[in-house]
Structure 1
Amino acid sequence: MKVIQTFLLLFSLNSFCFAQQNPSTREMDRINWMEFAEFVPEKINTVLLPTGTLEPHGVANNGADNTTPTAMALELADELNALIAPTLNYGITGSMANYPGAFQITEEAYRPFIRDILKGLSRNGFKNIIILNGHGGGQTAVLQEVAGEVANELGVRTLVINWWSYASDVTMEVFGEDGGHAGLNETAYIQAIDPSLVHPEKYTEDMTTAYPQNKSWSAVPFPSSIGLYQAGQGFPNFDEAQAKEYFEKVNTKVLALIQDTIRKWDLAGL
Structure 2
Amino acid sequence: MKSFTLPPLLCSILLLIASTSWAQNLSTREMDRINWMEFAEFVPDKISTVLLPTGTLEPHGVINNGADNTAPAAMAKALADELNALIAPTLNYGMTGLLANYPGAFEISEEAYSLFIRDILKGLAKNEFKNIIILNGHGGGQTAVLQKIAAEVANEMGVRTLVINWWSYASDVTLEVFKEDGGHAGLNETAYIQAIDPTLIQKERYQDNQATAYPKDKSWSAAPFPSAIGLYQEGQGYPNFDQAQADEYFQKVNAKVLKLIQDTIAKWDLAGL
TM-score, scaled relative to structure 2: 0.91
Q: Which residue of 204, 209, 214 corresponds with 1:206?
A: 209
Partners of 2:182 and 2:188 within 8 A in 1: yes
Quote the RMSD (CA, aligned, Å). Answer: 1.3
Comparing 93-102 with 216-225, greater Cα deviation is found at 216-225
Query: Which amino acid is 2:247 matched to?
Result: K
Q: Which runs of 5+ in 1 are unaligned?
A: 1-17
In the alignment, which residue of structure 2 is the partner of 1:42? 45
* Structure 2 residue 57 is matched with structure 1 residue 54: yes
Distance 1:227 1:259 in 2: 32
Structure 1 residue 259 corresponds to structure 2 residue 262: yes
Residues 51 and 135 in structure 2, CA contact (< 8 A), matched pair in contact too? yes
Q: Could you tell me how far 1:75 is from its partner in structure 2? A: 0.2
Aligned counterparts, 1:93-172, within 5 A = 93-172=96-175
Q: How much does 1:238 deviate? A: 4.1
> How far did 1:152 drift?
0.6
Aligned to 1:83, the other structure's residue is in SS state strand
Give the whole-Å Cα distance in 2 for the aligned partners of 1:84 and 1:20: 14
- For 1:146 and 1:110, the matched residues in 2 are separated by 10
Deviation for aligned residue 1:201: 1.6
Is the contact between residue 147 and residue 163 of structure 2 (CA under 8 Å) also seen in structure 1?
A: yes
Aligned identity (percent) is 81
Specify the alignment match of 1:10 in structure 2.
none
Contact 2:121/2:153 (CA < 8 Å) preserved in 1?
A: yes
Using a 3 Å threshold, how does the CA distance of structure 1 residues 241 and 109 change in structure 2: closer, same or farther?
Answer: same
Pairwise CA distance, 1:235:
2.5
Of 167, 178, 193, the residue aligned with 2:181 is 178
**Cα drift, residue 136 of structure 1:** 0.3
Deviation at residue 233 of structure 1 after TM alignment = 2.4
Given that residues 200 and 236 in structure 1 are in contact (C-alpha distance below 8 angstroms), is that contact kept between their aligned partners in structure 2?
no
In structure 1, the residue matched to 2:30 is: 27
Change beyond 3 A, Cα 1:123–1:210: same
1:19 CA drift (Å) = 7.4
**Does the alignment pair 1:248 with 2:251?**
yes
| Partner Cα distance (2:46, 2:222) in 1 | 49
Give, as a single letter, the amino acid of the residue that structure 2 aligns with 1:150: V
**Aligned partners of 1:216 and 1:124: how far apart in 2?**
47
Report the alpha carbon displacement of residue 139 of structure 1 after superposing the two structures with TM.
Answer: 0.2
In structure 2, distance between residues paired with 1:119 and 1:68: 24
Counterpart AA for 2:192: Y
State the shift of 1:20 in Å.
6.0
Partner of 1:81: 84
Aligned length: 254
Matched-pair contact (CA < 8 Å) for 1:75–1:251: yes
State the structure with more CA Rg: 1
For the residues of structure 2 that align with 1:111 and 1:88, how far apart are their CA atoms?
12
Unaligned runs of 5+ in 2: 1-20
Q: 8 Å contact 1:203–1:235 — kept in the other structure?
A: no
Per-residue CA deviations over 1:221-244 (Å, capped at 9, x if unaligned) read 000000001122233214211100
